[in-house]
Amino acid sequence: MHESRADLFQRLKRRHEFWLASVIAILVIFLSVATQGFLTLQNFFDLLTSYAFLGILAAGLLVVLISGGIDISFTATASIAQYITMLLANKYGLDWFSVFALAILVGVLLGAINAILIDRLQISSIIVSIATLNIFYGLLVFVTGGKYIYSLPSWFGKGIYWFEYVDADEISYGLNLQILALLVMFTITWLLLNRTNIGRQIYALGGNREAAQRLGFNVFRLNILVYCYMGLTAGVASLIQAQLAQSVAPTVLVGKELDVLAAVVLGGASLAGGVGTVLGTVLGLALLAIMQNGLILIGVSSYWSQFFVGLVILLSVSATALSARRKRKGNLVE
């Protein structure tokens, strides 16, 4: 069937992503006019690099939210993965492959603990992950005494740079470790959710848990997969953050979990499960990043940043709720 342009627009209008993209476009145009430094290649790459950590975690959290669960313990997971990996890398002189393997392993194991508690004891995921956040973080701070690791292996400190390009002002950009990891994790998440039957099972589970069980989906296995995937993203994110910060601090990551949640929720994922897309999450993250960056560029005190983030979340969620209500009313009239 041929779809007319008007139909396409009607369809687009109903998508959360369409509105997000529109808001972002307006924001980008405004900031490009209002500030000097916003619309530059350098700022673009800087933003990607510094928001890669939140973005990778957002990809993991998206999968958890779609399945109908929630996890807020991932920052503690990332801190532990980072600490153990860098400690061992310093001691045994590991390589790129083994540090990532190790960080992912730690992340997956801690994710499995969450999954087992949530599935076997049938406790709500928010309670479990609040508890494990505190347990993981408490143990880490106790064992390490809160000590920073300042000296990282030199190969790790140098990082990875592909397609490096230096412009006239001798500023270099390129595909660095952070951007690469961000792209890879978003791609994998998209493939998992849209191109594999397990991804569709995760959507189904979040949409109607009982029906999923009746159909014969293995809910325990799905939970394991979802929370371990969250752990995997925490492992990856922890390393690229350590590389960027050039140090490992056990206390700096915990507290960022709500920023990640904000990006995913802005992106249209529902805490009730079953709803959310990778594109939405990318846009949610972009909105968060552009907003925070833009506020700094136009000279608003960074103390206001959180205020505006909160305001935008509230507006976004209200708009979604209002349109859902209108849709329900529309259905009644039919």
Partner 1 sequence: MATFLDLKNISKRFGGVQALTDVDLSLEAGEVHCLVGENGSGKSTLIKIISGVQPPEAGGTITIEGRSYTQLNPVESTRAGIQVIYQDLSLFPNLTVAENIAVGQHLGGFRSVDWTTIRKIAEAAMARINVYFDLDAKVEDLSIANRQLVAICRAMAADAKLVIMDEPTASLTRHEVDALLSLVRELKKKNICIVFVSHRLDEVLEVAERVTVLRDGKKVGTYDAKDVNDKKLAVLMTGKEFSYDLKETDLKSRKTVLSVKNLSRKGDFKNISFDLREGEILGITGLLGSGRTELALSLFGMNPPDEGEITLNDKPLALKSNREAIDNGIAYVSEDRLTLGLVLEQPIAANATVTILDKLKGAMGLIPLNAREATVDRWVKDLSIKVSNTANPVKTLSGGNQQRVVLAKWMATTPRVLILDSPTVGVDILAKDGIYEIVRGLAQKGVAVIMISDEIPEVLYHSHRILVMRNGRLTGEFEPHRSSEDQLRIAVNA
221, 213 Cβ separation under 8 angstroms: no
Number of Cβ within 10 Å of residue 159's Cβ equals 13
Q: How far is the CB of 100 from partner 1 (least distance, A)?
A: 22
Map residue 165 onto helix, strand or coil. Answer: strand
Nearer to partner 1, 187 or 196 (CB): 196
Written as one string, the DSSP assignment of 39-63 is SSHHHHHHHHHHHHHHHHHHHHHHH
Query: How far apart are CB 38 and partner 1 at their closest, in Å?
Result: 37
Query: Taking the complex as a whole, how short is the minimal distance between the CB of residue 108 and partner 1, in angstroms?
Result: 16
CB 165, CB 173: distance < 8 Å: yes
175 DSSP assignment: E
Residue 20: closest CA among 250, 235, 312: 312
State which residue, 19 or 217, has the beta carbon closest to partner 1. 217
Q: Which is nearer to partner 1, 4 or 154 (CB)?
A: 4
Q: How far is the CB of 112 from partner 1 (least distance, A)?
A: 17
Paired with 149 in beta bridges are 248
Shortest Cβ 220–partner 1 spacing (Å)? 14
Residues in contact with partner 1 by CB under 8 A are 194-201, 203-204, 206-208, 210-212, 214-217, 274-275, 327, 331, 334
In the 8-state DSSP scheme, what is residue 169? T
Query: Residue 267 CB, nearest distance to partner 1 (Å)?
Result: 15
Dist. CA 106–CA 154, nearest whole Å: 23
* d(C-alpha 205, C-alpha 241), whole Å: 32
Cβ neighbours around 318 below 10 Å, total: 10
Nearer to partner 1 by Cβ, of 184 and 191: the residue is 191
Shortest Å, Cβ 202 to partner 1: 10
**Cα–Cα distance for residue pair 107/94, rounded to 1 Å:** 18
Tokens, residue 44: 């673009």
CB-nearer residue toward partner 1: 154 or 331: 331
Provide the minimum distance between the beta carbon of 21 and partner 1 in the complex, in angstroms, as a whole number.
20
Return the number of the residue (113 or 212) whose C-beta is nearest partner 1. 212
- 223 with 118: CB under 8 angstroms? yes
Per DSSP, the residues of 296-334 read HHTT--THHHHHHHHHHHHHHHHHHHHHHHHHHHHHHH-
Residue closer to partner 1 (CB basis): 67 or 85: 67
CB closer to partner 1, 82 vs 201: 201
